[in-house]
Structure 1
Amino acid sequence: MQTFRTPLTALEDTFRRAPDSAAFKIPKLPLEPGKPCSEWTTVTYKTFRNDIRSQALDWSRILKTEGIAPGSVVTLWVRGWDYADVTLIYGVLRAGYVPQLVSFGVTSAEAIYEVAQSAQSRLLIADYTLTERLSGCPLPIKLYTPSEHPAGLQTPSQEECTYELPELEALVKDRQDTAFILLTSGSTSGKPKWVPYTWDWLDCKMPNLDLLLPPQADHGGQQVYAWLGTACHGGQFYGIIGSMKNGSCMVQPSTIPFSSDEFANMVAQCGVTTLIQFPPHYALHLKRARQDPKFLAILQKLDCTVLIGMLLDRDEMDWCLKQGIKLRSGFGSTECGTILTTLPDRPWVYTLADPSAVLWKPVEEESPTTSTAIQTTTASSSSSQNLYSLIVLSSSRDCPAPHLRSPIDGHYHMGDLFAEVEPGVYEPRGRADDWIKLANLALGRCDTKAIESAVLSVCRDLINACVVTGSLRPELVLFVEVDTPLSAEAEGELKREIIRRVEPVQAKMWTYEKIVRERQVRVVRNGVLPRTGVKGNIQRRKVEEMFKEELDEMYKSVVA
């Protein structure tokens, strides 16, 4: 039987090498109202390993009593925000079952039941706070209630427990067997999809984690990472595996996103060396750093800041580089993990981790008369560049499960567009659905991401966020968020100022891509625009749905 690298063998290796090293730092709760966390408790790798074993023994007993055989899928609907949830996840895996991870970000019980049944799950383990939402569940349910014990369970005595755990090597019966099942956020397709990770896929991905997560601190000691988000989603899922593999420490904040004050305490009290965050959350720290030299110094001294899920705005990246803040970013998805990583001196462009794993396919746009490659002439590029779609080949170990691949060619189409700015170096141009067509189909597509970046580059002091809409409409509309309500007069002044500022940066855009009229700017309060639950990205389609009546009325006066 061939032995594969797995998260559990990585943990075992670290435990044998450094059992007393810190694996996690857990916040001491409860907090004083209105104050950030300032104290953490250390969990060693020895304790972490034992707590996973405690969970494994207990759930082995429960599941076998229910007649559920090892190798079966078990759905876990938990927060994933804290240490106890991590021990539950890996405890179920250690017991020989396949954890299907569902976070609180998926709020529809019906959607969870659907993906659970699609994966042939045998049981739902649900956080006890979800009790009232579990009516009509087609699966047996076990409620999970963490106690003061870190793992939420007491280790059964030898007399009480007659169940033995399988050897680590025995967990991998076939390298194509499923080890974990994660869910996509559903922000693109409208509903979550289940994504199985095989043992072979995890074995392939584990070495690549070092491309994003530095395995050793610059000073030669242990790397200490800041917790990203729920362990049920790809980013934190990979972060924990990378931490276990490298013998690093993961610091859990009291809440996500955490304040700049709490992060300063995490650095001072826990020795955080690498910050892992989604760009919308990191932008809050940059806002503080621009005003607070002491906090700026904290960001400058970090070994690295790893940004995932999307790129930081270009002007923010330029500012970070000028200030000596070291940035990294990875590009990928829940389905196929990290595929590209950024260059150290240019964190806005990517190179491939494995060029043989992908195909760059020129994007073709069908028009009434001809088919031509989409080109961009936006402010983000000095000359026209053909766009390419990123496709993960079925022959690559990076390629996800067959049910996620194209039924036409058998490959995995990520739906993301890139321009090759120099040989082997790629700049993202958004997703295919970020390029929208107006009602006049003879016009080209509009690069909404480039327009939004251009607006933010010159209006960041006026607005907090923005999104461009207008799919199959006569013209584009820019929605902007501001902190406080504005009078009609003040709102009009804001619209005119935005139009005035963006005029120079729109110079290289097509006429139909420009924001030039007050009616094209809509002002809303901060937080009104719908966002994804994990990364905080504004959801363009939902904005169009939310303001449909208002837009319909406005477009009546517009000649297509």
Structure 2
Amino acid sequence: MALRTHLTVLAESSSKYSSLPIFRIPVLNNKDQVQDWSIITYSQFQFDVELYARYWARTLKADGISRRSVVAIWSGGMVYNDWCHIYGIARAGYVPQLFSLRLPNPDIIYELMQKANAKALCHEPSYGSMLVNCPIPIHETIDIRGYDLSRAPLPPLVKPHSPSDTSMIFHTSGSTSGCPKLVPCSYQWLDAMITKAYHVRKPLTPGRQDVTNCIGSMCHIGQTFMLLGSLLHGACTIQPTRMDFGTVELMDMIIRCRLNRLQQWPAFLAAHMRLSRQDPKVLALLCGLEEIFYSGQAMPRDDEEWAYKHNMQLRSCFGNTESGGAMLLSMIGGGRCNPSLRPVPGVKYGFFPIESAEQTETAYKNRNGTLLELVIMSDSPDCPDASLCKADGHFHTGDLFLEVAPGEYVARGRDDDWIKSYNSLRCDTKAIEDNVRMMCGALVANCIVVGNCRPSPALFVEPRAPMDADKLKKEILRKTRHFHSRRYMHERITSPELIIVVPENTLPRTATKGNIRRKAVEDAFKEDLDRIYASLA
């Protein structure tokens, strides 16, 4: 059987659901408020993808770039023009390497393009001034709808020579050794992702077109996965004005666009939950949704309790970039907090006991059972590229779970030094701490990085000797500036407000080894952190 891709799925769906809306796009007034939601049909998107494919086939051929080459795309990935370019470059026969706004330093992009052997870079027009000394040809991702490209041939669809050929390239959401890792996606892996997306996005009401919203950028695996599921079932996806769209916009989506399946990160969803406590209309609209899908982190306990008290149809999902989207899902509804998760159909995962020094931090092992690490087995169809796996051939996620019933699990954090930002992107805290110790060892006796579910990390420091706090913060920023200039926006500490100086031996530590306890620091200084992040918003 031929391997499916996003392009074959789109072609089949555009034939089957030709006149149905595939996207609803906001039309803004002169105050940047949503005035209306325009409709893009399945057949229109297919037409536009082929139009963009003609454009890129002609443009890249003029550069002497052969088909099957890697072409980097640097865009926000949040608007219709971006989606046409991403699909159009693939339809022209090239391998998209996708970057989002969260890679602010072009030097890192150049390094990642070199690792992928990219032959051209297509970028949003506003980034052009940053791309000095780019080693490969660059082109702007302009809106070409309305261009007459009838004389530009549409190349035949590229078919893989082997199931292991690369179809697209993503990147990890956190930096390792100062740089994100490539996540090459083979055709076989993409086919497995499509199978998973089919199960995750099955319609909940037969005969009704599902309407959902973008959860993020198409340059990231999450939205790529969710759109695939929508395409498979002929659903419609709403493009919000921003990822953390407000409740007024959500209400408009529900009323005017008939949104019935909301999907958001918990930090963004929390704003709607807060308003639903005060506004009965908001509460009624949330309760009327067929699904409220969240991923990346657990929901705050009080939000969960409120939602279940009012019979909201919550569904929790666990996934990551390397696996190609969703891995574990809860049942819709369920009526209890911290619902258990089950592997999606067709995968092969292992849950193996760990031995970790951080077990004392969690306090779960002795009270509630053995902590298990989730491992994607090498023969699971969604096992990532070998370059991301350990020597045993399996992909070790570092994510910890408890088995609460046979085949059912609840998440219990990570077995490493990574935290997740408020939109579920990862940050390596140990790398930041090690850099502070290396560059500021004469000034800092000890330090710890916190910021789980926050927009960016914060650094707590215990000074080596008495020193003016403001002066110490400035010195730390100066000495670590180069390190942070190479990291994602959500991994950087560039504001003195995010450096908190406390007296030596103030931070909570473990009783045995005296290690600073990250979670305990988060809890002890929660009010201070709330105030700091609020002042920076």
Q: Which residue of 2 aligns with 1:156?
A: 149
Matched, 1:550 2:536: no
Unpaired segments ≥5 residues, structure 1: 368-372, 436-447, 453-466, 483-531
CA contact 1:182–1:195 (8 Å) conserved in 2: yes
Distance (whole Å) between structure 1 residues aligned to residue 59 and residue 489 of structure 2: 39
Q: Which residue of 2 aligns with 1:441?
A: none
Q: Which residue of 2 aligns with 1:55?
A: 52
Distance (whole Å) between structure 1 residues aligned to residue 453 and residue 323 of structure 2: 33
Q: Which residue of 2 aligns with 1:505?
A: none
- Higher mean displacement: 545-554 or 182-191: 545-554
Aligned counterpart in structure 2 of residue 165 of structure 1, from 145, 155, 161: 155
Q: 1:391-540 counterparts in 2 under 5 A?
A: 391-406=375-390, 408-433=391-416
Q: Does the C-alpha gap of structure 1 residues 477 and 182 become closer, same or farther in structure 2, counting only changes over 3 Å? A: closer
Three-state SS of the structure 1 residue aligned to 2:412 is strand
Three-state SS of the structure 2 residue aligned to 1:88 is helix
Three-state SS of the structure 2 residue aligned to 1:398 is coil
Q: 1:37-436 counterparts in 2 under 5 A?
A: 37-146=34-143, 149=145, 154-158=147-151, 161=152, 163-167=153-157, 170-186=158-174, 191-213=179-201, 215-218=202-205, 220-337=207-324, 338-344=326-332, 345=334, 346=336, 348-354=339-345, 357-365=348-356, 376-377=362-363, 383-406=367-390, 408-433=391-416
RMSD: 3.5
CA contact 2:261–2:293 (8 Å) conserved in 1: yes
CA contact 1:56–1:95 (8 Å) conserved in 2: yes
CA contact 1:339–1:354 (8 Å) conserved in 2: no
Q: Does the C-alpha gap of structure 1 residues 185 and 546 become closer, same or farther in structure 2, counting only changes over 3 Å? A: farther
CA contact 1:374–1:387 (8 Å) conserved in 2: no
Q: Does the C-alpha gap of structure 1 residues 295 and 537 become closer, same or farther in structure 2, counting only changes over 3 Å? A: farther
Deviations 1:410-461 (A, max 9, x none): 21111111111222111111112369xxxxxxxxxxxx99xx9xxxxxxxxx
Distance (whole Å) between structure 2 residues aligned to residue 481 and residue 247 of structure 1: 33
Q: Does the C-alpha gap of structure 1 residues 252 and 386 become closer, same or farther in structure 2, counting only changes over 3 Å? A: same
Letter in 2 for 1:165: P
Distance (whole Å) between structure 1 residues aligned to residue 300 and residue 288 of structure 2: 22
CA contact 1:348–1:427 (8 Å) conserved in 2: yes
Matched, 1:25 2:24: yes
Deviation at 1:393, TM superposition (A): 1.3
Q: Does the C-alpha gap of structure 1 residues 264 and 137 become closer, same or farther in structure 2, counting only changes over 3 Å? A: same
Q: Does the C-alpha gap of structure 1 residues 375 and 543 become closer, same or farther in structure 2, counting only changes over 3 Å? A: same
Deviation at 1:146, TM superposition (A): 2.2
Distance (whole Å) between structure 1 residues aligned to residue 231 and residue 30 of structure 2: 28
CA contact 1:102–1:232 (8 Å) conserved in 2: yes
Three-state SS of the structure 1 residue aligned to 2:84 is helix
Q: Does the C-alpha gap of structure 1 residues 399 and 83 become closer, same or farther in structure 2, counting only changes over 3 Å? A: same
Three-state SS of the structure 2 residue aligned to 1:360 is strand
Q: Does the C-alpha gap of structure 1 residues 418 and 143 become closer, same or farther in structure 2, counting only changes over 3 Å? A: same
Deviation at 1:545, TM superposition (A): 9.8
Three-state SS of the structure 2 residue aligned to 1:235 is helix
Three-state SS of the structure 2 residue aligned to 1:171 is coil
Deviation at 1:273, TM superposition (A): 1.0
Q: Does the C-alpha gap of structure 1 residues 218 and 556 become closer, same or farther in structure 2, counting only changes over 3 Å? A: closer
Deviations 1:367-425 (A, max 9, x none): 9xxxxx768436xx99332111111111222111111111x322111111111122211
Three-state SS of the structure 1 residue aligned to 2:403 is strand
Q: Does the C-alpha gap of structure 1 residues 297 and 38 become closer, same or farther in structure 2, counting only changes over 3 Å? A: farther
CA contact 1:375–1:385 (8 Å) conserved in 2: no
Letter in 2 for 1:426: Y
Deviations 1:318-373 (A, max 9, x none): 22111111011221110012221113315532111258612222111359xxxxx7
Distance (whole Å) between structure 1 residues aligned to residue 77 and residue 498 of structure 2: 33
Deviation at 1:281, TM superposition (A): 0.5
Query: Identity across aligned pairs (percent)?
Result: 33
Letter in 1 for 2:392: D
Deviation at 1:134, TM superposition (A): 0.5
Distance (whole Å) between structure 2 residues aligned to residue 429 and residue 164 of structure 1: 50
Deviation at 1:139, TM superposition (A): 1.7
Deviations 1:151-191 (A, max 9, x none): xx624123xx2x34114xx4333221111111122167653
Q: Which residue of 1 aligns with 2:471?
A: none
Letter in 2 for 1:283: A
Distance (whole Å) between structure 1 residues aligned to residue 31 and residue 204 of structure 2: 32
Query: What number of residue pairs does the alignment pair up?
Result: 457
TM-score by length of 2: 0.77
CA contact 1:376–1:385 (8 Å) conserved in 2: no
Deviations 1:301-320 (A, max 9, x none): 11101112222123321221
CA contact 1:375–1:387 (8 Å) conserved in 2: no
Distance (whole Å) between structure 2 residues aligned to residue 410 and residue 546 of structure 1: 43
Deviation at 1:211, TM superposition (A): 3.7
Three-state SS of the structure 1 residue aligned to 2:356 is strand
Distance (whole Å) between structure 2 residues aligned to residue 317 and residue 23 of structure 1: 31
Deviation at 1:256, TM superposition (A): 2.3
Deviation at 1:245, TM superposition (A): 1.3
Letter in 1 for 2:5: T
Q: Which residue of 1 aligns with 2:9?
A: 10
Deviation at 1:11, TM superposition (A): 1.1
Letter in 1 for 2:372: Y
Distance (whole Å) between structure 1 residues aligned to residue 198 and residue 322 of structure 2: 19
Q: Does the C-alpha gap of structure 1 residues 289 and 549 become closer, same or farther in structure 2, counting only changes over 3 Å? A: closer
Three-state SS of the structure 2 residue aligned to 1:117 is helix
CA contact 1:212–1:328 (8 Å) conserved in 2: no
Deviation at 1:242, TM superposition (A): 1.3
Deviation at 1:136, TM superposition (A): 2.3
Unpaired segments ≥5 residues, structure 2: 423-428, 438-444, 455-483, 515-537
